Amino acid sequence: MREQEAAREFTAQMSVRDGRWRLYVVLLGTTERWPEVTFGRRRPVPTLTERSRALNRLGFEPVVGGEWAWSEDSEIPDDPTTVVVLIAATRVRSWAGVVA
C-alpha cells in the first residue's frame, strides 16, 4: 500500500443500466476505469445502507452531511419523447491511503 494520502472528494452517481442499478464514482481528468458496483436488480432502489456498503467496497465513503440528490435525464438527448433516466448523485471521499 502507498503512503497515507489526504482523502480526496469525488462525485458518486447511481443509475439503471441494462435493467440493473449501478453505483459508480466519477473520476474526471483520468483515463482510469471508474470504480463501479452493480446491484443486480431494478427494484427496489438500493437503500442508503446498500449504497454505503457498495461505496466502502470501492474504497469511498459519503462525506459528512452529504445527501443523495436525484435528477432526471433523457435516454436520447434533446428528445422529449424518449425514456426518462433517473440519476442519483452525492459527494464521497476516498479513504486516506486509498488511491482512486
Per-residue pLDDT of the chain (100 residues; tens, 9 = 90+): 344 456 789 999 999 988 999 999 999 988 889 999 999 999 999 999 999 999 999 999 999 999 999 999 888 988 989 988 899 999 999 986 454 4
Residue 56 lies in a domain: yes
Check residue 1 and give its pLDDT: 37
Residue 2 lies in a domain: no
Residue 3 lies in a domain: no
C-alpha cell at 12: 458518486
Residue 28 lies in a domain: yes
- Show the CA angle centred on residue 85, arms to residues 82 and 91, nearest 5°: 150
Taking the whole predicted model, whether its pTM rises above 0.85 is answered as no
Residue 86 lies in a domain: yes
The H-or-E segment that residue 55 falls in is: helix 48-58
Residue 31 lies in a domain: yes
Number of domains in the chain: 1
Give residue 54's domain range. Answer: 9-94
Residue 99 lies in a domain: no
Check residue 8 and give its pLDDT: 87
Residue 1 lies in a domain: no
